[in-house]
Amino acid sequence: MSLSIEEYNEQEHKGKIKLSNRFIRAFRPKLFEAGGFPTSVQVEDELIRYIDSMHAYSFDDHYNKLCEGITHEEFELLKKCTYDIYEFTKNVYNGEFLVKAPMIASICEKRIIEASLGSTENKRVFEIGGGSGTLGCLLLEDEIKYAATDVTQAFYLIQNRLFNHICKNDINELVNEKFNNNSRCIHVPYWKLWEMRNDPIETDLVVSNHALLEMSPNSLRFYLNFCRKTLEKSKDGVFVFQGGGWRIDQNLIDLINLFEEYGYYLKYFDHSKEIAGFSLQPGSIKNDVVRALENLLNGDVEIEKIYALGNHILERLNSKEIYFTGTLGEMMNDKFEKIKKMEKIDIETVKSFYSQFGDLKMSPDDEFGEYILSRKK
């Protein structure tokens, strides 16, 4: 069901009464707060700012470098989700927005999920930090069971509205409903995670993109413990990410080491796209990957600059080396190799599809960015 701003705020306040100071501190949106990024709203119309607020000016790069083109099947799903979000913004906010770059990034993330699971039939994906909800949109439209959590009020609320739009108001919203593990879409506010830690969502794969390094260290440790419990009953039991995010307290090597400390084994790592796949089954390429990361630095580039750039670091160093081992690693590598050989849709065809919507308004963030980057000619 749709969730009002007032109800979210009230339930968050009630939920935090039972939590420790350390938990509350750990689950602050640390990077956003440090950078002054607004994470909450007071009125409904403010939420339109969050439907396309990431990946600014990245469409061409995401299409050509990250995805290296999209397949015919992916293009059909992109069109379906584009219509979804267009109708959603038009009907709910009178905005008529198209979400482009985040959708392409999410197609890459969906590929990773499919490569890790083989078949997604009757599988559940749990996303940490769902942002504007584009990955959730793709998965739900493709009939994949999905769950998500987010630490920011504004992103959580826009997810709630978008997921309700896609699922026709049939989501398990845990802000004000009891947990139902059989629901197609489960939405989990961060303050409910503590009471769910011993009886969590049964999940086959956990995904978190461009977020893990942006968390406080204790939040990250909590999630690693929590998610291991969610994955224990699955024969797959996979945790993947594409891009660790912007460094705050830890770097990429710290992140990989921490996963292993908490019982996850690195099975796949793509340097150029910073794709990592972990399973709960012993056997790891961690030492090789960490050694390669350390060798790439070689004293030539300042370590702080490299690690601060998260998913861009290895692209800058022109590394395309891929490591993999075990069933998961081989399955991911095989899937990605097959995708490379598939016929792709030309980028101009995708842009032509977008052009049919006419001269729509840019998202507020893109509009601001274009203005400040315009120069006197």
Domain boundaries, the chain: 5-373
- pLDDT at position 311 is 43
Residue whose C-alpha is closest to residue 248's, from 273, 225, 276, 219? 219
pLDDT at position 368 over 50: yes
Per DSSP, the chain holds a count of helices (H) and strands (E) of 16, 11
Examine the pLDDT at 239 and tell me if it is beyond 80: yes
pLDDT value of residue 366: 77
pLDDT of residue 46: 94
Among 251, 250, 249, 243, smallest CA distance to 306 is for 251
- Predicted model pTM: 0.93
CA distance 155 to 9: 13
pLDDT 10s digits, 140-164: 999 999 999 999 999 999 999 999 9
Q: What is the mean pLDDT of residues 33-44?
A: 94
pLDDT in tens, 78-122: 999 999 999 999 988 887 888 999 999 999 999 999 999 999 999
Q: What's the alpha-carbon Rg for the chain, to the nearest Å?
A: 20
* Least trusted range by pLDDT, from 12-21, 28-37, 192-201, 310-319: 310-319
Q: Beta 238-242 vs 275-279: how paired, if at all?
A: antiparallel
Q: What is the pLDDT of residues 161-218, one digit of tens each?
A: 999 999 988 899 999 999 998 899 999 999 999 999 998 899 999 999 999 999 999 9
Q: What is the pLDDT of residue 309?
A: 41
d(CA 37, CA 32): 5
pLDDT of residue 298: 60
Please say whether the beta carbons of 297 and 305 come within 8 A: no
- How do residues 292-351 score in pLDDT, each as one tens digit? 888 776 654 455 444 444 444 545 555 557 999 999 999 999 999 999 999 999 999 999
Question: What is the percent of the chain with per-residue pLDDT over 90, rounded to a whole number?
Answer: 74
Tell which CATH architecture fits domain 5-373.
Answer: 3-Layer(aba) Sandwich (3.40)
